[in-house]
Amino acid sequence: MLHLPHALRPARLPHHDLLKKHTARSPRILFHGREIFSSKLPLGSDLQAVQPSRLHKYAQRVLYTVSFGGAVWLMDREYNGSAITRNLRTFWTCAIIALDYKLHFKPEMSESIPALHERVAERIYNLFTSNGGLYIKIGTHLSIYRQAFANNAALMPKPMQERFGRLFDDAPQVPYAVVEGVFKREFGRPPSGPGGVFEIFEERAAASASIAQVHRAKLREKDGGGWVAVKIQKPDVSKQVEWDLGAFKIVMWIYEKYLFNLPVLFVVDFISDHLRRELDFELEAKNALRTSIFVATEPRLSDRVYIPKVYPELSTKKVMVSEWIGGVRLSDRRAIMQLMGETPSPDLPPSTYPVPERPLKGGITWVMKTMVDLFSAQMFEWGWVHCDPHPGNIIIRPHPSAPSRPQFVLLDHGLYVSVTRKFQQQYAALWKGLLVADLGTVRKVADAWGIGAPDLFASATLMRPVRFGKPGESAGAHDIEKLSQYERGLLMKEKLRNFLTDTDKMPKELVFIARNMRIVQGNNQQLGSPVNRIRIIGYWASRSLAVAPGLTWAVRYREYCRFLVFQIVMLSIDIAFWATKLRQWIKLKLGQSGEGFEDQLERTMREFAKSNLGLEIAEGAFEG
């Protein structure tokens, strides 16, 4: 062995100096403040690399993920009105529904299809009620939601009809602190108190719905004094609207293009636009003013109908101030019956409204006659249609100048559609053709609107079965009882697909006008069918063709002659109506439940839907 002289041997460094020298040229890794070295440590080192355990790494990732998700959720809730959370809930629910249908809507699973509809109805209902806000509006406005679900309830499976019949635009009120914040942003001052907008502002809301709530307040003397209704938009709604409508459009696009192949997307933009308009209270104030002008210039309505005064100087896009109107809402049927001198049915729920000492003149017949006249005038004369006439938006009060007579007060002017004169004439011709069995005219209008099933369209418009051809010729009517649940579902889908042959032609306004007609019918039905709604609408439709502007004298003369002939033909409908009224009166006198005119129409529509579509319709599906 060769021994080097001591002077030529490399100097031996202490162990810690060797380590320091190595680490000066080696990468340094820190983990939780501790220094870790790679496997390139000197062989003689007694330090071992400190490696984190796999469980520790997984726990750390979960912690980071939960922390990030929690932060996003908190920011979404505080600054975005939980819009992201609501959209995730929407997409998840719709994905589950689509998957459920794909897996279980099959011929071999036909008997379980009713249970499938039940599950889907419950999921959609829970989605709307959980998300609230604009979802309730969508749910009371379109086809896979209640405005489309409720408008065409006859075209929905029975479980969905029942669920959406329970969907009301009602919601808890937001705290007063939130309301005060809205006022400070809109006016730069609180609702009341020193320097406040009002002399008195009741902190508890008088009513609360999905997008807004109403408080009672008293104006300051400089603003005219008096009590007013203050409608305040809930602040989260404006944050959620574009997210909600975007999700709505995406879901409809997927359902139409990839899942169910049904025409639903063509009305989404139209409906979304009108929902946005409902959130603009300055526009609502203008709508109310425009309607009040129409009413004032119509002699047949000016003394019967009242539109509350709006205060534009105290209104913004998020706050609207209008005259406070006392009276009885049409939704309180017991109080309405008592107010109008009628004997309420014992099964009606109790009312907190005091029984009047002197009932108003006219009875409930006056109430419904005024309602049908008002909305017929809007449709056939003004071309300006209020599309949300549900019972909560109508008040009956003693007439200010004649307390023994009633006055009809129309509230909530956020949702209107404006229709062209051409559409008015087509719609009037449609109604007239339906009532005199002029099926050629009905087919002509249906074709102009891209509708390929004129019998189904006519029945949906009139809310009375209309058959083109001999009884039993409707598609598969005589074989419907033999069809399985799966085959009935396919039949209904085919009918709906064939119903709209050209969506570019169809007037989008029909979505909301149909809603108006359904609710008016439901109001009449709920009050026992006191008026012949079909006869009144037919009168306005036929008359509008005779008084249309721009007609030559010869054409106008012919139209007036046809109008008079039409009135004579309508005597048959009057006879049928009064015969039903007589039977109803006799049964009530005998202590039995009497079926009104609208009840008969609903019953025949249920039979029509079952025999032509194989669809069971829940009782009351057409109520407003």
* Amino acid identity for residue 213 in this structure: Q
pLDDT at 404: 94
Residues 126 and 39 placed together within one structural domain of the fold: no
Question: Which one of 23-37, 369-383, 484-498, 540-554 scores highest in mean pLDDT?
Answer: 369-383
Query: Mean of the per-residue pLDDT values for the chain?
Result: 80
Residue 37 lies in a domain: yes
Residue 178 lies in a domain: yes
Domain count, the chain: 3
pLDDT at 9 over 60: no
Residue 65 lies in a domain: no
Residues 40 and 100 placed together within one structural domain of the fold: no
pLDDT at 232: 96
The better pLDDT of the pair 87, 536 is held by 536
pLDDT-above-70 percentage for the chain = 77
pLDDT in tens, 269-278: 888 898 889 9
Q: What whole-number distance in Å separates Cα of residue 385 and Cα of residue 417?
A: 5
pLDDT band at 8 (very low <50, low <70, confident <90, very high): very low
What are the backbone dihedrals phi and psi of residue 214, each rounded to the nearest 5 degrees, phi first? -115, 130
pLDDT at 72: 65
Residues 145 and 14 placed together within one structural domain of the fold: no
Contact 498, 455 (CB under 8 A): no
pLDDT band at 146 (very low <50, low <70, confident <90, very high): very low
Residues 40 and 90 placed together within one structural domain of the fold: no
Residue 49 lies in a domain: no
Write out the two tokens for 588.
Answer: 């009530």
pLDDT at 259 over 70: no
pLDDT at 99: 87
pLDDT at 236: 83
The whole-number average pLDDT for the span 373-388 is: 95
CA 567 → CA 437, 544, 618, distances in Å? 14, 13, 35
Q: What whole-number distance in Å separates Cα of residue 367 and Cα of residue 340?
A: 9
Residues 145 and 40 placed together within one structural domain of the fold: no
Residues 165 and 23 placed together within one structural domain of the fold: no
Residue 339 lies in a domain: no
pLDDT band at 182 (very low <50, low <70, confident <90, very high): very high
Which residues lie closer than 8 Å to 372 by C-beta, 6 or more apart?
Answer: 520, 524, 531, 533, 536, 537
Which residues lie closer than 8 Å to 88 by C-beta, 6 or more apart?
Answer: none
Residue 199, domain extent: 78-279
Q: Which of 261, 279, 297 is the last residue of a domain?
A: 279
pLDDT at 31: 47
Residues 432 and 492 placed together within one structural domain of the fold: yes
Q: Which of 256, 279, 302 is the last residue of a domain?
A: 279
pLDDT band at 157 (very low <50, low <70, confident <90, very high): low
pLDDT at 608: 67
pLDDT in tens, 210-243: 889 999 999 999 988 999 999 999 988 888 788 8
The whole-number average pLDDT for the span 327-332 is: 94
Residue 167 lies in a domain: yes
Residues 489 and 588 placed together within one structural domain of the fold: yes
pLDDT at 2: 47
Residues 145 and 12 placed together within one structural domain of the fold: no
pLDDT at 592: 72
pLDDT band at 400 (very low <50, low <70, confident <90, very high): very high
pLDDT band at 169 (very low <50, low <70, confident <90, very high): low
Nearest to 138 by CA among 231, 246, 214: 246
Q: Which of 263, 279, 295 is the last residue of a domain?
A: 279
Residues 86 and 10 placed together within one structural domain of the fold: no
pLDDT band at 143 (very low <50, low <70, confident <90, very high): very low
Residues 35 and 160 placed together within one structural domain of the fold: no
Residue 591 lies in a domain: yes
The better pLDDT of the pair 373, 604 is held by 373
The better pLDDT of the pair 294, 590 is held by 294
Residues 585 and 472 placed together within one structural domain of the fold: yes
pLDDT in tens, 340-356: 999 888 888 888 888 88
Nearest to 275 by CA among 125, 122, 145: 145
Contact 434, 483 (CB under 8 A): no
Nearest to 264 by CA among 426, 342, 148: 148
pLDDT band at 485 (very low <50, low <70, confident <90, very high): confident
CA 87 → CA 127, 213, 221, 250, distances in Å? 10, 24, 47, 11
Residue 218 lies in a domain: yes
